[in-house]
Chains A and B, each alone.
Chain A
Amino acid sequence: MIQRDFEASVRPVIPAHPFELPSRPFGLHFARKNVAVPQDLTCDKGTKTDADTTGGDGSTPNPNSNEVLDWMDDD
């Protein structure tokens, strides 16, 4: 249900909010749907936040990808 609301409540360009809750997390007002999904976003769960491209392959480079500790973290 949450998933369906999430998909339904988002539009690509206008401000979107993934959750319909009585008190929405404020920061999520600024969430925008990714237009270009980097190739390796869907490879496995270790890469879910890793837009790890150089921008030369047509995908969106994420210069601030911090998720390099997944393989070493259990917290």
Chain B
Amino acid sequence: MAVLILSHEHDSTAHRVQQHIEHLGGQAVLLNPAAFPQRISLSARVRETTPWQGTIQTTHGPLPFDAITSVYVRRPHHYHIREGYPETVERFLENEAMKGFGGILRSLSCLWMNDLEAIRRASFQPFQLTLAASLGWHLPDTLITHDPEAFLAFWQQQEGRVIYKPLHGNFFPGGGHTYYTIYTSLVGEELLSQREGIRETAHLFQADIPKCYEIRATVIGETVLAVGIDSQRAHASRQDWRASYQDVRSWVEPLPREVEQRCIALTQALGLLYGALDLIVTPSGDFIFLEINPNGQYGWLETETGLPFSRTIATVLLRGGNSA
């Protein structure tokens, strides 16, 4: 019996989980789809009466499909096609690898952390917000629009306390080794004259909620590991603590049982086994839901707080079962 960890070779977080699985007496195989077909191989056959039968030949040895009881989707890389082909041929080869190799992995009937369709569904913030509200979470007043005048009316209604954050990831490639990050930011009055640019695509604006501090609550199965983050201590981290890690401190934050249950309920409603929720605690003590990330990082929080993220993930993965 084995846990298949889909990630790249330098993923130190995946290595931690792998070590915990092995420490708990299980077997874990780290596999990067990017290594197919150069360094790993696969042959599989399906018949009317039997599911896919076959073995993945990894650099560490063979892994039969029927030995895989859980799959942990961490940070798999895209397929790496041998160089030298024209781009159109490269695309064809990549797509065939994805549908063939990826398709067989996808057909494994076992525990998935997380289920791929669930990750996709959860990646839509508007869907998250609707679901969270239906489960009783308080939300910031939110506007998604490409209409500059709708934005202006919202900005005025909120008396200028409005933030912008991207709907799809916050990394922006700049070419070469240059990358840009779009952090959650207050929309200052000086940018109102630029609002015509809102027409270009959908933009998400929210009321700027007063913060006492913030919480990253990570749900793993039915366990919630919550960490408080003092984002308000320094100016640079007030709107988005990711913008200035050196300024924030974190601590173990026991959540009220009812809030903990709501974290679990939202994660399960999204079909996820793992979810990282970002919450605000207001000066009056209310918990406000911002978003949930189906594959949020936790490594640095494990280091800072000592909370057992990796071990809890390993324990859930070793239980196996079926995600459906």
Contact = CB atoms under 8 A, between A and B. Distances in A.
Nearest to A33: B180
Interface stretch (B19-27, B47-55, B73-81, B265-273): B73-81
A39 B174 contact: no
A40 B4 CA distance: 21
Interface string B264-284: 000000000000100000000
A70 B123 contact: no
A20 interface: no
B175 A46 contact: no
A32 to B, nearest CB: 5
B62 interface: no
A54 to B, nearest CB: 3
B11 interface: yes
Contacts of A69: 116, 119-120
Contact of B75 (A26, A34, A52): A52
A26 B197 contact: yes
Contact of A6 (B170, B174, B183, B203): B174
Nearest to B239: A30
Contacts of A64: 169-170, 242, 276, 291, 293, 296-297
B106 A46 contact: no
A29 B173 contact: no
Given A56-B12, A56-B303, A72-B98, A67 B119 contact: no
B77 A70 contact: yes
Given A64-B242, A71-B98, A50 B75 contact: yes
A20 to B, nearest CB: 12
Contacts of A49: 169, 171, 173
A52 B175 contact: no
Contacts of A25: 197, 200-201
Nearest to B242: A63
Contacts of B198: 26
Contacts of B95: 74
B33 A7 contact: no
A69 to B, nearest CB: 6
B127 interface: no
Contact of B169 (A32, A53, A66): A66
Contacts of B296: 63-65
A37 B173 CA distance: 12
Given A24-B194, A54-B12, A71-B34, A31 B172 contact: yes
B182 A54 contact: no
Nearest to B291: A64
B294 interface: yes
B75 A56 contact: no
A62 B242 contact: yes
A21 to B, nearest CB: 8
B319 interface: no
A32 B77 contact: no
A19 B120 CA distance: 29
Interface of B: 6, 8, 10-13, 33-34, 73-80, 95, 98, 102, 106, 116, 119-120, 123, 164, 166, 168-175, 177-183, 185, 191, 194-201, 203, 216, 242-243, 245, 276, 291, 293-300, 302-303
30 contacts: A6-B174, A7-B178, A10-B178, A10-B180, A18-B174, A23-B200, A30-B182, A30-B183, A33-B174, A33-B180, A34-B181, A44-B77, A48-B171, A52-B11, A54-B297, A55-B300, A56-B12, A60-B245, A61-B245, A61-B297, A62-B242, A63-B216, A65-B75, A65-B169, A67-B171, A68-B74, A71-B77, A71-B102, A72-B116, A74-B95
Nearest first, the 7 A-B pairs at minimum CB distance are A54-B299, A46-B78, A55-B300, A46-B77, A26-B197, A49-B171, A31-B180
